[in-house]
Structure formats: structure tokens, C-alpha cells
Structure 1
Amino acid sequence: MNSLLSKFFLVFTFFSFNPLFSLASKSSYKEYCASIIPETTPTTKKFNSFPLSDHNTGYYIGGDSIINIDASWNRFSLYFPPRNTYATSHPHLFKIEGTISFTTNNDASYYNHHHHMGYLTFKLDGFWSQSSGNVCMVGKSKGVSKKGDSLNLDVVFKLNNVFNSINITSLVSGSLESLSSEKDDDDHYFEPISLMMFPKANYSYSLDSKEVENEFSFGSDDDEEGLSLNFDSFSFCKYPLSSAIRRLQLEYTHECNSTKNCTPIISGSSNQLPSHMSLKGIECSSKKKDRIRVLGEFSNSFVYYWNRNNSQSFNAKTMLIGEGWWDEKKNMLCVVLCHFNGSKSTSLDGTHVGDCSLRLRLRFPSIWSIKNSSSIVGQIWSNKSANDQNYFKTITVRKDDANYGVGGKDLRYEYSQLDRVNQSCPPHKVIENQGKRYPDAYSYDMKFDMSIRESKKKVAWGSSSPLFVDDEYVSTSSVSISRSEFDAGILNNDSLFNISYKISLSAMSSSPSDKNSLFNMSYYSVKISAEGIYDARYGTLCMIGCRDLVSNNGTPTANSLDCEILMKFQFPSLDTKDRSYIKGSIESTRPKSDPLYFNSLEVSAVAYYIQEVRRNVWRTDMEVIMALISTTLACVFVGLQLNHVKRNPNVLPFISIFMMSILTFGHMIPLVLNFEALLAKNPNNTTYVLGNVEKWLEVNEISVRLITMVAFLLQFRLLHLTWSSRKTDESKNNHWIAERKASYVTFPLYAVGLLIALLLKLKKDRDSVTSMYQVYRQHDPSWESIKSYGGLVLDCFLVPQVILNLFSNMNENVLSCSFYFGTTFVRLLPHAYDLYRAHNYADQDSDLYFYADPSQDFYSTSWDIFIPLVGIVFAIIIYLQQRFGAQCVLPHRFKGSKGYAKVPDSEGEVETTNM
């Protein structure tokens, strides 16, 4: 999708420039390009054989003063529309027009949000020499700098080695230079930008000779069975193969502790061996033979290749280029890799393809086991002799991620540790009619994230995913659940299942203090392959695990495992309604004197069962309906009050402006917050979506917002009428005095209540145990307390009116009975629902609440009882005040203050004193 948008952007910018550009650039071309390619008169004949494709991408160095390097990955796009390429009067010269664009990548901008998301595009016009391979063009810019300023730059663009026929050694290099002078201290000057591209048109594959193919026949794994990929079902050049080879883990021999004779690349002064290699396809062909051109990059980063926003430039010293092909007889991908030579840190000019002595082969194993559960295995080696300076020891290549659908149905797993599992965890004796149900082995419930504790201290996070259940491969690459899956029942709940897992653990601290901790400096990230038995009758999972070992400097070591690990897990029952947890342990079976021994670990994980998800989908449906009903009722009750004041306009001055303001802001704030959330919504931030439920929720959420807008407008109208009545009433000063006296009581009352709420919230935060999934969330206790207290103020919205009635001593029906009892009912309904929800549903993340959100009011069993009682009491007080007088609720000794009441209009408005 991003590539389509970038192409559209380039096409748009190409035609958005001034059409008089070519006339203005003639003088510039003669001055800067005529010595390279003489200007020639173009003909009307179109020329469609320009060797560069319509849309090209490449790498660059430089341009720091005008390009936002931190968010661009040092990539540029070059666009040559075929309709803008013309033949000329010279047979080997051709006129071309194009666009070069440096755009900020969307994903990088997300991680570098403090930078401007800008663009910089140059419209270019010039000539290409077919015989020399040179391109020279001049152009002008259109765009925004990294500082956010508008740019207007004049440039000359040069390329060389642009030929019709290309091979592995063909690299297109060039530059983009400013026409302004640095000496003149011109603001339009920028340092030259060095460019490099990999041409694609008319590529000739030449490295897969018979001699080279014979080099891929060595090794001990030739007899191992690899998956025979069926290219009838998917293209060799497309997903999933192209995604499967993106990120490969490197493992070295035991004697490799430094880069000497151990790696094909040297990354700066660091003596650390690269941990990963990523392969990216440049071009692919399936015409006569399945072939692919690849660009390989070595790195020590643990950031995924497609999110590597901290990789700031093209580093030829850590990158390789090569050709690959699929060997159908041996079921493996063979790749010949070549070094880049002649590169400099400040320029890509002179970079060329040199030594091609590297070999890479990759297989997709069809048989997995606890000691080999990688979706891809292979080797990288050199065909040089051991005394050659470019020689290095063979590197093992693995990929432990999901299989991306490559041959998933043809995979098999060989269990080898089941006897040890039975000895460590003897089978349970069958107990009839125990009445509990546990997750099915084939269900999504078997996948869980976990919190790791050591000596009661939280030390790490982990994730676990099943690979095989019995002989069936379980795909774990997708986390979305369709609505139809919620109704899937338990397939087999009275059996024992052989099961295998992939478990990944990551330490919260990079330097654990205990030397016997699993997470010391060498084991910051731990990967464990495990297999065992799951008893679906009791929800018990017992497994033997093998962890990958690394060298002292943290480098993964090939074929080095510790398989003396015992893992036990207990799943909670499916029938539990409260939040349920998976409990377990990870312990070493080695003696404490063994160097590989580690302290026992306690495991805790929140169990998100499909049945629980199903219940919560219905909960979400119910909450949306409740929100629609409550908001609609609020509109109705405000409308009834507007009708009441229309029939009795004399009561308007006696309505509390403070109360009307509270209710108006209560409808306005959700609208503002929802609008800000809509603007700030990040399309790349995918939340846990329950199939097609998301669309249904969005439609109903819009409906709730529209009804809330209506309620706000009605409430604002009532506030406006109340305010206006104070200006026209003859006793307006007396009413304002009463309002002011009521405020003197109300404001301190609310301030004290807010202080108490903050103190209660702080105490609750200290006493509560934060669950695993809440640790990474940024919470502000003070802000949450203010929001919750705001909900409490709305629940007790009648307080200002009760106090105002006491000061004004009003005894008429200022508020309609339907308004104050109805609005009280609307405000107290969420608390009644919260009691029902707490009894029938497990606790949920507050982001999933659509009604009675705990972060927006005080919700608990005690609050859900206390707040409705208080709300009803205030509604009864209003009823008694309007029927028997405002001071009827006061003790007799406090009565007798001066108040104001209305007499019939025929007698005029007079001041009365109630003693």
C-alpha cells in the first residue's frame, strides 16, 4: 500500500511543476551538462527503451542540511515516465524527463515523531547517452526541508553506467549537486548528495554456472529432507518466500570469539560478530529458471529489518549483493554473494562489485524436533582456501519465526523427550465427574504471554506459542480471531496430547545481579524449544525444554543446547468468570554446581480464553446498546425540562447555573476527547480486533457521538436560557447574590472532595498489584483521579441546585420531576450495570470499556451502592424542597432566612419574606 502511495505521490509531483520549467533550465543545462552530453534537438518520436524502469529506488549519502535523514532510511525514489522520453536528431542521444524524490518514510516518522514529516522533490530535464551510459539533467526543487521551511533549489543531476544490458557488476552511481555556490554563502546551497542504484532492466544472470552449482553439494545435511516448494500455489518471487528470508539468525563455531576468520564483513572498529543477516529481493525471475537478485545486510540490531529506523545509511562494508536460484532436486535456495569494494564514508562514487566468493544455501526442513525447530536452516561459507585473507569459518543460518505458510501442511515433528516427561510428570489418575473443562490443545487458548519471577522478583517477560499438537502443525502467525471461531466447541477434552512449543524470554534488566540467574549478561534474551504432554482433562502441561547457548561475548553458538530444563504449567478452568491466570515454573534439572544451572523461575500469565473473549464480545455489544439508551434518555429528559421552562418561564432565574454548567460540560468533554482521539489515531497502531466486530463498534460509536452531540446542544440551550433569564429579571441582583453564596459553599465542597479522591487513588495504586499487561501503559494517577472525580460530580449534579434552593428559599417546581429523577436514573444506571458486569465478566483492560468506564467514575461494589443511594437522596431532597419549601429539609432552628419567591403575575413581582 505504501509503494502505491509513493508512486501516486511521484506522479502527482511530476505534473505539478510549472510547465515552463524546461525553458528556464536550458541555460543551466548548457553551463553544467553540455560538456558531458551535448544538447540535441528532440524529435516528436517517443522512445520507450530507457534502461531504467519507470519507478526506481536507491541509496544516498549526504544532504544533511536539507533532508530529514533521521526519518528517511537514506532511500530515494527516481521516476521516469515513458511518455516523457524522446529520441533526438543524434542516434545515441535521448531526451529524458524525470523526478527524484526524498520522502520521509511513514513508519520511521512514527518512531521519530519529533521530526517534521516532509518531502523534497526535484523535477529534472536532460539527456542520456546510450553509448557512454551517462545521464545529465538539471532541475528545480519543490518541497519542505527538515526544519519545515519551503525549499527552492536549483540542481544538476548526474548518473553513470546506465546501459541497456546489465549484470551483477552493474551499479548506477551519480550525484545531485547544488548550482549555488558555497563561497557566496547562499542559503540555497547544499553539499553534494552521492547516489547509487541497482538497475533492473534487461538483467543477465551469470553466477549460476555448473561449477558453482557443484559447490552447493557439500555438507552433512544433504541427506536431510527439505520441503519441496510447490510453486503452482504461489509465485517464487512473491510472498511467502520473500518474507521468509528477510531475517536470519547467525550462529558461529565454538572457536569464534572475534571477527578474525569468522565473518565475511567487518563493521567498523567493533570486534563483535554480527548476529543477523537480512536478505531483500532486488529482482526476481521465473521465466526459464527460478532466480532472484538479493541484497544482504549484516547487523547486530534486534530491531526487525522492516522497522530498522536506526539504520541511517547505506553501509557497503556490511552489505552484500548476489544472485540466487531454487534447486528443485535438492530442495534448497542457492545464493552467490559478492562484496562491495571502493566505497567511502562520504561518497558512493567508485563503489563496485568485487569478490564473489561467498556462498549461501537455505533449506526449509520438513522434519522438526526439539533440537531443530527452525523454519529455515542453512550455511554461509567461502570458497577460498584457509590461508586466504577473505576466508572465514562456515556460519550456520537459522530462522526461528513462524513458517510463513511455506509448506506448513507438509511439516512433521519427531518427539524425543516424552519418556523423560512421563518420569518427571506422572499421568494423573482419572477422577470421574470432576465437572471442570480446560482448553483444547488445538485452540488459540494454548498461546500465552507470561511474566517471569525469580525469588519473588519480576525479572523478565516471555511469550509462548505451540508449534505442533501431535503430528499437526499449528500456525501461530495470526492473532486475529473471527467471530465464527467464538462458537467453536471443545474438540477433545478427555485425552492426552503430545505438544511442542517455542518460548522466548527477555530480561527486564540487562545486568542481573545473581550469577545463577538465567538472565545474566550472556542470556539477556533466551529462546527455548520444548516438547511434552498436555492433559486436557486437568489443564496440566509438562515439557522438557532446550535453550540455545551463546558464547561469553553473547554470540550465538551453532549446535550448542542445554536440554536439562523442566517446565510445568497449570491452565485455569474454562468455566471461571473472574480473571484467570496460568501458573507455572521453569527450572533446571542440573546440580547447583553445574555451570549451566540456573535458579528456578515462577511463571504467571493472564489466560485470555476464547470462551471468555466470546463473553466479552457480548459484553461489548451490551455496553454499546446501554450507551445508546442512556444518551437517548438524557436527550429526552433535557427536552422535557425545556418544555417545562417554556410553559413556566418564571422558574428560569431559580435554576442553578452551576448545575447546568456541570451537565453541559459532562456532554461536551466526551465529544472533545473523542474528536482528539480521532485526529491522533495512528493507522499503524493495530489493537486487538475481534474479527468484524470492529466495524460494528465504529458504526455504533458514531451513533453514540451524534446522540451525545444532540444532548449537548439541548443542555447548552437550557444553560443559555437560564443565563439569559438572569439579565431580564427585575430581581437579577438578588438571584446572582444567591448564586454567589451557593458557590461559596459548593466550590470548597468540591475541592475537599477532589483532595480526598486523590488521596484514595494514591493509596489504591500503592496497595494494588499491577497486572502484567498494564506495566507498559503510561498512567497518570492524578489525571485518572480527576476524571473519576468528574464522574462523581456528574453523579451528584443536584448538589448545586439543593444549595441554591436553600439560599433563595424557592418553593416552586423549578425542575420538572422527569428531569431530576430521570437524569439521576441515567447517571446511576452505569453503577447498576457495573455490579452486573463484575458478577458476570472477568476484569478487562479499560481500553475495552464502552460504558461505565472505571477510569471515568468511581466503580466498585461499595461505590456502586453508595453513589446511587446518595443520588436518590438528592433527588428526594429536590422533590421535598419544591413541594414543601426549600428549607423544609433543615432543622427548625436553621430556618427563617430571607428568600425570594414568585407570586402570580397579575399581582406583580414582589419581594416576600418567609419567617
Structure 2
Amino acid sequence: MIMDSLLSILFFLLTLSSLNPSFASQPSYQDHCGSIVPESTPNENTHNSSPFDDHQRGYFTGGDSIIDGGTSLNQYFDLQPMYIRATKFSDLFNVEATVSLTSSISYYWNSSHGDSLRYERKRRYRRNHVYFKLEGFWSESSGKACMVGKGNGYSKTGKHLNLDAVFKLDKVFSASNITSLVNGSLESLSSPKDESYFEPISVVMFPKANYKYTLNSTEVTNEFSSGSDAMKGGLSLSSLSFCSRPLSRAIRRLPLEFSPECNSSKNCTPFSENSGPLPFLVSLKGIECSISNNKHRLRILVRFLNTSNYWISQSFNPKTMLVGEGWWDEKKNMLCVVACHIIESSLAGTHVGDCSIRLRLRFPSTWSINSTSSIVGQIWSNKSTNDSGYFKKITFRNEDDGSVGIQATKYEYSLLDRAKKSCPAPKPVKNKEKRYPDANSYDMRFDMAVRESNKRVAWGYSSPLAVGGEISTIDQISSSITVDSTFDQNVSSSIVESPEVVLHSGGLFNISYKISLWPNSTSNDKNSLLNHSSGSVRISAEGIYDSGEGSLCMIGCRDLHLNSLTPTAHSVDCEIVVKFQLPPLDERSGIYIKGSIESTRKKSDSLYFKPLELSSAAFYTEAAEKLVWRMDMETIMVLISTTLASVFVGLQLYHVKRHPNVLPLLSLVMMAMLTLGYMIPLVLNFEALIAQNPNNKNFVFGNVVWLEVNEIAVRLITMVAFLLQFRLLQLTWSSRKSDESNKGLWIAERKATCVTLALYAAGLLIALLLKLKKDGDAVPVITPLNQHHSSWENIKSYGGLVLDGFLLPQIILNLFSNMRGNVLSCSFYFGTTFVRLLPHAYDLYRTHNYARVDSGSYFYADPSADFYSTAWDIVIPLGGVLLAIIIYLQQRFGAHCILPQRFKGSKVYEKVPVVAESEAEVETANL
């Protein structure tokens, strides 16, 4: 027994060691690294002046058999030292570290489906990362380091691999400067025929620890004082760092602008060997940022990209990269950078040299219609024109102002006189009771639908850049609300955070706007504003806003350098007139912003473009405040009406308990219809509750806890109403089934069902045709919540209409069965009719007090769940009351009392008690 136990334990340990490489024997350091760095016994004390940073990042190439590469967006490795211990030799140190290789790849799935697709994704994900745990020694005097260890990876077929490797580094010194690069290789210790063998991996990284800045000499500093741009005002850096967000993100993609005579990279970029197309972007990445003696310093990697997408071509390519030192000049408020070429013979032989390139960057303190960028800068060479490596000065500027974190403090107008001449003079205010948005309010920004020649061609966005001489903060607030999808405040608090609305009876404001248009597709029309290939149109505009009339008229300037494949020097077309007409704040219907963008040039001019029509649904802050109140009120009304409906169904149950003989005479169609009316919302709400994404909340309503609590209460009460109605349906069906002797009621039920369904089918066809015609005549606009009507909503609306006339199946059954008697209690058919028709009365009130919004904000009288309009709100209640009156007359005077004399029947169905408390159906002559 003991021997069996020992054998089992031994077998378990052997199995575990085969699965976990950490139990397997480590590769011999002496065999693979002894000739590079000698081995020694480490001491207990830890070395403090490490040449490695806590997290050292670099680039790698190779290793395709264990990590996917080639089309990767990023190929980098991380070196993270765990321990660095001293030895008995003063310049020799024991190092334990982890090395991870990562490759971020863009995948395209065309042929894989189902299980194979999931397997392929899993396999690809596994091959994006390889991890090694290594141990070895570093020689401070020679700058060499060598480590051996084991790692984990996956083959191209997805098989798990245990990897033995040796990691060699060169030029690892405890002190470094701009010319220092650490080169190395990661090599497999397996046989080339072994499945765990991988190709040698070359690595390069920029050292961080103990770095010394040496390039900011007085002579070099004077080079940044020349040029007109150096004399312009700029903002201070304050406490921001180029290595931290949001500034680090803003400098990752800065569009370039070249001299007009540049049409290729020759003499126009820092890379003389490359004569291909001009790069599109420059990307600045801080390798390391520090503050010493209150002076900002950084090491920076400069990358030139031939695409507008920053996330493409991020692998290590020395032919398009520079590395440099930078410092922030407090006097001139600008970043000064001395950049050097990365010279590559091979990745292992990469070094830094030729530090003749200069870069400066500043944050303009003043914006104008020709310059609204929050970051501008230049790149140039300090070489003379005839020297090799000289290139013409390059300008760059950012496009996205909201993500920088720094913006100008004032705005200078230059085209107001032209705007006053091009725009009509303000008219006297005719109706002083109408109120329009204040120029400083959040309501002045909006999305737009763009039409050209009556065709939807693009969508756009417009936001105030400045009001008066002050820079607007509206767009920064809206950006923070849009990006933060997880904020947990109610609608009221989100409104409070926006600028306070100050209402004016009238007044003129100088205003500046920024407008962006994104086409749905590229146009081939040469006279179209959207016929370029850059994907967007950017217009800066300034003019007059009349807050008494809600009219906005401006002169616009569009960037022309975006229209060309060659990013030439910044140029604009300012022969553009932009107009908007805003609706009043208290408008009840048609709350749409209308606008236009027109060129004032002649049609023969190459810069002329066809007029564009703009439209947007205005969703004002004041309307949002009313919307919150309306939503709360509607939720309470739902609770009250559903509770009343439950009470009325309960009274009907009490009625049939007292008079069980009326149960077979109830319409099964009516009972089933009312039951489904409660069941379907419960099912849909349950599915929505499961499928909802808590991070996908609309920024207008936020995550409103109070509304969610009310929704739960509504579901509970609806569940009670459903159960009561289902019980009534069950009793009706049971009573009908237990009375098989009376075939006449079943025949009458079938006839009534056929007639009812025929009427419903005809009504549905007519309703769908009317809806389709109405939707076809509607003009598409951008709605605040991007809601779109569908055929399902049309069917839901008709379903609501059917429920409004829930008494129709009972009336038809009464006619075929010639019933007389109180089948339905008065409280049930009049009460339920009142509950069904109350939403239409409320909709009449809502139409005259609230603006109608296409959104999911309707908790009561939802337009997508019934027919709501002024006409329907009158016709449907009248029809419902008429049906209730007919039921009353039928139950009092007989089912045929509503028919002419010649159509009246001769038989009446009713239930009467007999001896021994049994029930039987009898036929009596109709007197």
C-alpha cells in the first residue's frame, strides 16, 4: 500500500514537471554565456545603480515561428528586471529578469466560420505574446549581459511549446546619452530540427536609467530663437508632461505641411535616401520625461508616417525614425528638440548619429480663422542649402483641439466686415415672446445631415470656437460627456454641468465656429465639396449670431491642403458663406435647425462647389429639463394605470365568481388579446434587461437610478395584471371545454373569430400603407438620439390600436350568439376602456406642452406602441367609448338591439341554475 502511494506521488511529480517548464532543468549558463560574461556567486545585497529601468521597452524583429509578425502594427519587447545582485567582483552583477515579446496584429476574417473561427482567433491571440524567465550576469566594464532561461509559446499550428533560450545584450552601460543604443539577440537553444526551435530574434532599445542630457548647449539653444514663428506668443506648459495623457495622445498624430514646391521626399524630408511620396503624419512619442531644476526635459522618438492612420506602420523602421532630446523653454514657451538619425546596418548594428535636425512645438495663445490648432510646430535642418541632408522646413499642426488639454485664451476676428456685408441686416424682432438659445449655451453645438442636390451625401458636426473674444468651452464639455460612457449621474446633474443658459430677448454676438463634414462616399463631381480623397472637410467660420431671431451668418474658410494627396503648406479658401436658422426654445413641433454652406465664387472657378443643405434636430437643454420631468410623470402614470387595470380585471374575476354561468359567453379572442397585451411587454423588457450593456448609456439620460427603480416597479405590477388576466382566460377556456354539449357557442366563437381576424387583417394592411406613405414623405434629419422607425414599430402601433378596441371581439361574439345578460361587469369594460384611452388624452396634453422627440424616453403613451396624433387622439377615444356603450346596450336589451329589425336573430344563449346545483344550457324563444 505504501509503495503504491509513493509510486503515485512520483508519477504525479513527473507529470507536473513535464507540464510546467519551471520544474524542468534550466539551461547551463556556463555552456552558453560563460565565454561572454563570466559566472560568479551572487551576494545577498542588491545592486542599487542599475543600468535597467523598472520597465524597459524596445523593438524586435524575427521569431516568426513562435510569434506572428509581418503585418503587425506593433512589434515590441519588454525587459523587466526582478533582481540585480552584486558578486565578489565589483563590476559583475547577477541579473534575474523577464522578457516578453508582443505583436499586435490586424486580422481579417473571410473564410472562417463557427468553431473554426473561434479556434483561429484563440490561436492568433496566443501567438501574439511570448514570455521568458531568464537569469544571468551583466559586466559593467564591458557593457555586456548574458542570460539563459525558459519560456512559453505556441507553434503556427497552435501547439504549446516549452522554449529554451539565451538572451545576449551589448552596450549595457550604467551611464548613457543620445548616442547609446542597447542591441541584443534572443536565440533558441534547441536543435533546428526540434519543434520548439525558433529563428534568432534581434532586439534594440533606448536606455533609460542614468541618462545624461548633453545636446542643449547655448549654441544649439540660439538656433531656436530665429524664425517668425519663434516670436509668436505661446502658452506655458504648466504641470502637463509630454509623456502623460492627454498631451501624449495629441502629439501622436500631427499632420504635416510641406513647401509648395515639394512633390516628393527628395530634399523635403530628413531622409534623403527615400525619394517616395511625402509622409502624411509626424508622430512624437516621449521615451522619458523628467523635471530637474524646474526644467522640463524629455527624450523623444520622432516617426514619419505615410498614412493618416497612426495605428498602422508602428513597427521599428529606422529609415523613417529619429531620436532626440528636448527641453521646454520657459521664456519662449516652446518645446525645443535636437533630433538625430538612427543609422542601421542591421538591427544588431543600429546606432545614432547626425544630430542636425531641429524641431520646435508651441501652444498658440491666440486663435484666428486661419489658425485654430492648439499645437503648431516646425521641423528643419541646421545644414546649409548645398549640404547633403538639407531639406526645406516642414510645418505641422494638430486637427483635434478637444484632446490636447491646452487651448488658446483669446480669439482674433478678421472677417467680420465681410460677414456683415454678405449677411442680411438683422430685422426688428416681431414676436418678443419667442426665445432663442444664448450664444454661450450648450445648445449652440449640433450634429447635421448634409444634402447636395436633394441627396444625402454626408453628416457633420458644428460647435462654437469662440463667442466674442473668449474661447468657448462648450465642445470640451460635450467631448468629456461623450467619451465617458460610464458616468453615473442623472439627467439633471448632467445638465447642471453644462454652461448655464442665459436668455436674451435679443442681441448680436460675434461668434466663431468649427465645422467638420464626413462624406458617406467620395463624389466624382468636380463641383462637389466632397470630391476629395482625405475623407473629411474642415471649415472654420466667423460672423454674427442674432439671439433675438436665432439666425447665424458667417464667412467660412476651408482647409485646401486636405484636398490634395500632397500635404502642402497651409492654404485656405475663404469665399464661403455659412448660414443657420435655429428654432425657438419653446417650439412644440418642427424643432429642426436649417442651414446651408455656399461658395461665393463663380461656377467657372476651380474652387467653386455646389451649395450644401444642412439640417439637424434641435435638442435644447431647456427641453431636456422638461423631458426629465415628463419622464418622471409618465412613469408614475404607468404605475397608476397598470394598477387600475389590475383592479378592473380583479373585479371581473369577482363578477364571474358570483355568476359562473357567464364564463362560457366570454370571448376567447378578447381574453387572449388582453393577456398577450400584458405578456409581450414583459417578455421584451426581460430580453432588454439581459441584453443591455451598462457601459452603453446615452449621454442625455445617463444612468438614471430613479427611472430604473420605477421600471422594476412597473414590471412587477404588469406581472400582477398579466397573472390576473391569464387566470380569467383560463377560467373562460375551462368553462367552455367543460360544456361540450353546447356546440352552438363554439360555432358562434369560430364565426366571430373569422370576422374579427378579417377586420384586423384589413386594418393592418391599411395602417401599413398609410405609415409607409408618411415615412416616405418625411425629410431625413439627424435626430438627437439617432432613432429610426422600423416595420416592427409600425406593427407595434397597430397592436396598440387593436388593444384600444379590445371590446370588438366580444361585440361580434354577442351578435352571433344572440346573447343577453351581464357577461362583462360594468367596472371591467368601462374601467379598462378608460385605462386604454387615457394615454390618448395625455398625448393631447403632451403635444401642447412638450416637444416631440424620437427617442426611447417615452414611458407612457409611447408613439411606437400606438397611433398618436391630434386626429387619432380624438377618433380612438370616441371609438372606444362607442364600443363600451354598445356592450352596455347589448347586455341590457339583447345582442341584436344594435341591428335593424330585419337582421335580429331568434335565439338567446344564457346560463340558468337547475336542480342539484348542476348547470345546463337551455334555449328559450326570443319574445
- Does TM-score exceed 0.5, indicating one fold? yes
For the pair 1:612 / 2:658, whether they are aligned, the reply is no
Deviation at 1:276, TM superposition (A): 3.0
The DSSP-based 3-state class of the residue aligned with 1:465 is: strand
Is the Cα–Cα contact under 8 Å of residues 486 and 613 in structure 1 kept in the other structure?
no
Residue 564 (structure 1) aligns with: 575
Q: What amino acid maps onto 2:327 in structure 1?
A: W
* 3-state DSSP of counterpart to 1:573: coil
Aligned positions of 1:870-889 closer than 5 A:
870-889=879-898
8 Å contact from structure 1 (residues 633, 826) kept in 2: yes
CA distance in 2, matches of 1:278, 1:62: 25
Q: Is contact 2:463-2:513 (8 Å) kept?
A: yes
Count of aligned positions: 873
User: Measured at CA, do residues 785 and 227 of structure 1 come closer, stay the same or move farther in structure 2, by a change above 3 Å?
Assistant: same
Distance 1:508 1:50, change over 3 A: same
1:756 to 766, 775, 787: 766
| 1:784-830 alpha-carbon deviations (Å, 9 max, x no partner) | 32232333333333344444455555545444433333333333232
**1:157, 1:174 within 8 Å by CA — same for their partners in 2?**
no
Deviation of the 1:502 alpha carbon: 1.8
| Selected match of 1:332 from 306, 327, 334 | 334
Give the 5 Å matches for 1:299-698: 299=305, 308=311, 320-338=322-340, 342=344, 357-386=356-385, 390-402=389-401, 406=405, 408=407, 411-425=409-423, 427-428=425-426, 434-475=432-473, 476-479=475-478, 480=481, 482-484=494-496, 488-490=500-502, 492-513=504-525, 515-521=526-532, 525-550=536-561, 553-645=564-656, 651-682=662-693, 685=696, 687-690=698-701, 694-698=704-708
Structure 1 residues 302 and 699, CA gap change in structure 2 (3 angstroms): farther
Contact 1:246 1:278 in 2 (8 A): yes
SS in 2 for 1:154: strand
d(CA) in 1 for partners of 2:589 and 2:465? 29
Give, in angstroms, the shift of residue 57 of structure 1: 6.8
Structure 2 CA distance for partners of 1:713 and 1:251, relative to 1, 3 Å: farther
Instruction: Indicate if the aligned counterparts of 2:451 and 2:612 stay in contact, CA closer than 8 A.
Output: yes
Aligned counterparts of 1:615 and 1:891: Cα–Cα separation in 2 = 52
Please report how far the alpha carbon of residue 602 of structure 1 lies from its aligned counterpart in structure 2 after TM superposition.
Answer: 3.8
- Where in structure 2 are the equivalents of 1:772-783 lying within 5 Å? 772-773=782-783, 779=788, 781-783=790-792
Paired with 1:682 and 1:354, the residues of 2 have a C-alpha distance of 53
CA distance in 2, matches of 1:358, 1:323: 11
Amino acid at match of 2:447: D
Letter in 2 for 1:913: E
Q: Aligned-pair distance for 1:313?
A: 6.0
In structure 2, C-alpha distance between the alignment counterparts of 1:39 and 1:631, rounded to whole Å: 83
Whether 1:285 aligns to 2:290 is yes
Question: Which segment drifts farther, 854-863 or 94-103?
Answer: 94-103
**AA in 2 matched with 1:758:** L
Q: Is the 8 A contact 1:79 1:100 kept in 2?
A: no
Larger of the two Rg values belongs to structure: 2
Alignment of structure 1 residues 15-164 onto 2, 5 Å:
24-27=21-24, 29-30=26-27, 35=32, 74=74, 92-96=93-97, 120=126, 124-131=132-139, 132-140=144-152, 152-156=160-164, 159-161=167-169, 163=172
Instruction: Report how far residue 328 of structure 1 moved.
Output: 1.0
Normalised TM-score (structure 2): 0.79
For residues 460 and 101 of structure 1, do their structure 2 counterparts lie closer, same or farther at Cα, with a shift above 3 Å needed? closer
- 1:259-270 → structure 2 map (5 Å cutoff): 259-264=265-270
8 A contact 2:167–2:184 mirrored in 1: yes
Matched, 1:829 2:838: yes
Partner of 2:489 in structure 1? none
Give secondary structure in 2 for the equivalent of 1:254.
Answer: coil
The amino acid of 1:565's aligned partner reads I
What is the letter of the counterpart of residue 838 of structure 1?
Answer: T
Tell me how far apart the structure 2 counterparts of residues 668 and 442 of structure 1 sit (CA, whole Å). 48
Whichever residue aligns with residue 768 of structure 1, its letter is: A
Partners in 2 of 1:894 and 1:178 — Cα distance? Answer: 102
Instruction: Determine if the alignment matches structure 1 residue 786 to structure 2 residue 795.
Output: yes
Alpha carbons of 1:821 and 1:435: their partners in 2 closer, same or farther (altered >3 Å)?
closer
Q: Displacement of 1:251 after TM fit?
A: 1.4
- How far, CA to CA, are the matches of 1:745 and 1:891 in structure 2? 19
Are the counterparts in 2 of residues 257 and 551 from structure 1 also a CA contact under 8 Å? Answer: no
**Residues of 2 paired with 1:833 and 1:113: CA distance?**
51
Residue 880 of structure 1: how far off its partner (Å)? 4.0
Q: Which residue of 2 aligns with 1:908?
A: 918
Q: How far, CA to CA, are the matches of 1:197 and 1:890 in structure 2?
A: 96
Task: Determine the structure 2 residue equivalent to 1:851.
Answer: 860
Q: What CA RMSD, in Å, does the superposition of the two structures yield over aligned residues? A: 4.9
Structure 1 residues 763 and 584, CA gap change in structure 2 (3 angstroms): closer
After superposition, the Cα gap between the structure-2 partners of 1:27 and 1:688, relative to the gap in structure 1 and judged at 3 Å, is closer
One-letter code of the match for 1:505?
Answer: L
1:249 is aligned with what amino acid? P
Separation of aligned partners in 2, 1:159 and 1:489: 64
Change (3 A) 1:761 1:913: same
Instruction: Decide which moves more: 597-606 or 361-370.
Output: 597-606
Distance 1:627 1:730, change over 3 A: same
Aligned equivalent of 1:841: 850
Tell me the equivalent position of 1:257.
Answer: 263
Moved more, 456-465 or 118-127: 118-127
Instruction: State how 1:178-327 maps to structure 2 within 5 Å.
Output: 202-231=210-239, 237-264=243-270, 272-288=277-293, 289-299=295-305, 308=311, 320-327=322-329
Q: Do the aligned residues in 1 keep the contact of 2:186 with 2:202 (CA within 8 Å)?
A: yes
**Shift of residue 767, structure 1, vs aligned partner:** 2.0
Gaps of 5+ in 1: 1-17
> Is contact 2:439-2:547 (8 Å) kept?
yes
Pair 1:740–1:581, CA change in 2 (3 A) = closer
- The range that moved more, 37-46 or 276-285, is 37-46
1:705 matched residue in structure 2: 715
Q: Judge conservation of contact 1:588–1:599 (CA < 8 Å) in 2.
A: yes
> C-alpha deviations, 1:595-622, integer Å up to 9, x for none?
3333444444433333333333333333
Q: Aligned partners of 1:523, 1:667: CA distance in 2, in Å?
A: 53
Alpha-carbon distance, 1:661 to partner: 3.7
* Letter in structure 2 aligned against 1:484: V
Q: Provide Cα deviations, 1:475-514, integer angstroms capped at 9, x if missing partner.
A: 122225833378945355443322222222333431242x
